[in-house]
Amino acid sequence: MNADIRRLFGGGLLSAVVAVTSLAAAEPALASCLPPQFQPFADDPDTVVLAGSVRQVAGTQVVFDVQLWWGNEPQRSVVIERPPNDPTVITSVDWEPQPGEPWVIIAHREGDLLRTNTCEQLPGTQATVGEVESSLGTGVVPTEPAPSETTASGGLGSLPIIAGVAGLVVAGGLALAIAVRRRRPGNREA
């Protein structure tokens, strides 16, 4: 019997068992995130690092109130597109933020969108913020509202609002001029 066992293990079965065991042990490591290194993002103009809290989650978009910003064009509030969840795999890397939760997020500009990838969100603890600051320096406290804040009234920015108000003033002036003209003595349209 010992000879049979030696032949099985000696013939490659042991190698196969070790390989399968190694893969099974490695799978959870692949499903978990390693903490990101922030320094590689320092020189990328299309990448920002944000610390703040979730205001709202709507589908794949997260409205995020920013307290500290590392990168170009700091804003107080941004909309971040979440990475798509893979419905075929249940892992620990799916990001399911909830309103009020603090996060540190690495986000990448894609046109007008900010997008975050898998494993680029960390709980917004003081330790995490300190880690970002040790890599990227002191973050900026945003003072300018995001374009989404200025366009929250149905997509109108300040210029169209001013034009709309000016149009109403002109229309009101024309209506007043027509009313005065109709009331003049000798005018037959009354």
Cβ distance 95 to 82 under 8 Å? Answer: yes
Alpha-carbon distance of 86 to 163, in angstroms, equals 46
For residue range 142-156, list pLDDT tens digits in order.
987 655 544 443 333
pLDDT by position in tens, the chain (length 190): 555 544 544 554 444 433 334 434 434 434 567 878 888 878 889 999 999 999 999 988 999 999 999 999 999 999 999 887 665 655 566 788 999 999 999 999 998 889 998 889 999 999 999 999 999 999 999 987 655 544 443 333 444 444 444 455 555 555 555 665 666 666 655 5
Whether pTM > 0.85 for this model: the answer is no
Residue type, 128: T
Q: Which helix (H) or strand (E) holds 57?
A: strand 47-58
pLDDT at 16: 41
